[in-house]
Amino acid sequence: MKHIELNGEIREASNRAAVKAIRRAGLVPCNLYGNGMENLLFTVTSKDLKSVTHTPNSYIIDIKIGGKTYLAVLHEVQYHPVTDEALHVDFLAVAEDKPVVIDVPVKITGHSEGVKLGGKLLVSSRKIRISALLDKLPDLVEVDTTSLQIGKQIVAGDLHFEGVNIVSPKATIICSVRPTRATAQAKAEASK
């Protein structure tokens, strides 16, 4: 999986007024926790943070704070309801020897048999939650739809990848091929 670097500055636990002042300065308050470490409060610039929050990709984040580098994944982001600016971000520290649970993008490949017959491909899930060791984490999950027929679907339980566990519920629909009016009409005319 790709790595991305964020530079942070340590901050003190503070009151609401101090947090507002941090945000006015163009910084976003963040929290790093997990993997047996104490909570680490820090700030990053909102411009740098957008490279992580405003992308469909998933990354392992190298957070540099005070000369130390921490491996982490994006855990939760709180957004402003009107401006869509990040108000607060939580990062979860990870280790190379423990499995990481992360959402990765789904890439649909192949030209479905059902689509060739006039059906319509519907993609229901753009991301899927997986678990794997850091060195086994894929940048994306490819789903081949070549053999997908009209009225059929691919669910998370159908997917299997070496070294990767699918954590999303097995019934999560990834994609399906639905009949269109034209295919329904052609089927009705053929049965007459």
- The b-or-e profile of 16-34 (16+ CB within 10 A means b, else e) is eeebeebbeeebbbbbbbe
Q: The tokens of 174 are what?
A: 């990834």
Q: Which of 24, 34, 96 is nearest to 60 (CA)?
A: 96
- Please say whether the beta carbons of 20 and 79 come within 8 A: no
Looking at residue 12, its pLDDT comes to: 83
Q: Is 66 exposed, middle or buried (0-12, 13-18, 19+ CB in 10 A)?
A: exposed
pTM: 0.81
State how far the Cα of 104 lies from the Cα of 56, in Å rounded to an integer: 9
Looking at residue 185, its pLDDT comes to: 72
State how far the Cα of 134 lies from the Cα of 117, in Å rounded to an integer: 41
In order of their start, the domains of the chain are 3-95 (2.40.240.10), 101-190 (2.170.120.20)
Lowest mean pLDDT, pick from 14-18, 79-83, 145-149: 14-18
pLDDT at 188 over 90: no
Strand order in the sheet with 153-155: 120-123, 173-178, 153-155
Q: Which of 70, 63, 125 is nearest to 95 (CA)?
A: 70
Query: 37: which strand partners?
Result: 34
Looking at residue 173, its pLDDT comes to: 95
Band of the pLDDT at 36, cuts 50, 70, 90?
confident
Lowest mean pLDDT, pick from 79-88, 133-142, 182-191: 182-191
What is the maximum alpha-carbon separation in the chain? 76
Over residues 151-173, mean pLDDT: 93
Q: Which helix (H) or strand (E) holds 39?
A: strand 37-45
